[in-house]
């Protein structure tokens, strides 16, 4: 896809400029509000799965400070990044966690942007399923795998992140005009790492 800029030059894969978005009401505040409503839907989806698991006697092990899932190199959409900037405007001034784990972790292994964490982080620990042409693919955190047989779970006890992923992608295109991934570590550019 090629867009023409105001000066007429081609801009392949160009997004929608901040000025244009703001002129059409897509302010950072509006984007954050839309995303907060979206995260509420995701929370409801996760809660339904947790309830189904609890009814089968399964309690997940996730707790604050358990952070093997918080790997380095994760990315997010521009809309997810906008929520972090809105809720944690000072986070980029802090020192990022050292290489090997997510830059947003603190020294105690807790997420410093927990309320604004991206979609991917909101389903960590839940049994996940993706539909493919040759059948379903199921997965769960390796720390849960010894106590939860993800292959044996009924379908209503599985989380389907692809539905939320698709909705997020549509919102991203509608808001920014292009899909662009933002790395977690990029929030801290020019900062020294901790540890
Ligand atoms: S954003 Fe927070 S929850 Fe997500 S990987 Fe980083 S530290 Fe973990
Ligand atoms: S998903 Fe796994 S590593 Fe992450 S908090 Fe849950 S049990 Fe711990």
Provide the residue ranges of all domains of the chain, joining segments of one domain with +. 2-188
Residue with tokens 């929608």: 16
Determine the distance separating the centroid of ligand 2 and the alpha carbon of 92, expressed in angstroms. 25
CA-based angle 51:52:53, to the nearest 5?
90
Q: What is the pLDDT of residues 113-153, one digit of tens each?
A: 999 999 999 999 999 999 888 889 999 999 999 999 999 99
Q: Under a CB-based contact definition with an 8 Å cutoff, are residues 61 and 144 in contact?
A: yes
d(CA 24, CA 176): 12
CA–CA distances in Å: residue 46 to residues 35, 112, 127: 16, 21, 10
Do 38 and 168 touch, CB atoms closer than 8 A?
yes
Calculate how far, in angstroms, residue 65's C-alpha sits from the geometric centre of ligand 2.
Answer: 9
Residue with tokens 């907060």: 36
Distance CA(14)–CA(29), nearest Å, equals 23
In this structure, what DSSP letter does residue 187 have? Answer: G
Ligand nearest to the CA of 159: 2
111 within ligand 1 shell (Cβ under 6 A)? yes
Instruction: Confirm or reject: Cβ of 153 under 6 Å from ligand 1.
Output: no
| C-alpha 97 to ligand 1 mean position (Å) | 11
* Closest-lying ligand 1 atom to the alpha carbon of residue 120: 4
pTM of the model: 0.85
Task: Check if 70 has its Cβ closer than 6 Å to any atom of ligand 1.
Answer: yes
- What residue ranges of the chain have pLDDT lower than 50? 1-3, 5-7, 9-13
The candidate with the shortest Cα–Cα distance to 177, out of 13, 51, 40, 31, is 13
């Amino acid at each position: 896809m090629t867009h023409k800029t105001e000066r007429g030059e081609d801009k392949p894969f160009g997004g929608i400029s901040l000025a244009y978005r703001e002129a059409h009401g897509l302010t950072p505040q509006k984007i954050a509000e839309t995303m907060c409503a979206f995260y509420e839907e995701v929370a409801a989806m996760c809660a339904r799965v947790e309830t189904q698991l609890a009814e089968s006697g399964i309690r997940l092990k996730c707790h604050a400070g358990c952070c093997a899932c918080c790997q380095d190199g994760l990315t997010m959409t521009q809309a997810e990044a906008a929520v972090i900037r809105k809720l944690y405007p000072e986070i980029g001034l802090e020192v990022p966690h050292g290489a090997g784990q997510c830059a947003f972790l603190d020294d105690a292994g807790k997420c410093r942007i927990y309320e604004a964490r991206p979609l991917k982080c909101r389903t960590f620990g839940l049994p996940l399923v993706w539909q493919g042409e040759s059948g379903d693919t199921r997965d769960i955190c390796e720390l849960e795998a010894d106590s939860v047989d993800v292959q044996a779970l009924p379908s209503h006890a599985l989380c389907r992140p692809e539905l939320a992923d698709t909705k997020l992608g549509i919102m991203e295109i509608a808001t920014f005009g292009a899909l662009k991934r933002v790395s977690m570590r990029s929030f801290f550019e020019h900062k020294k790492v901790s540890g």
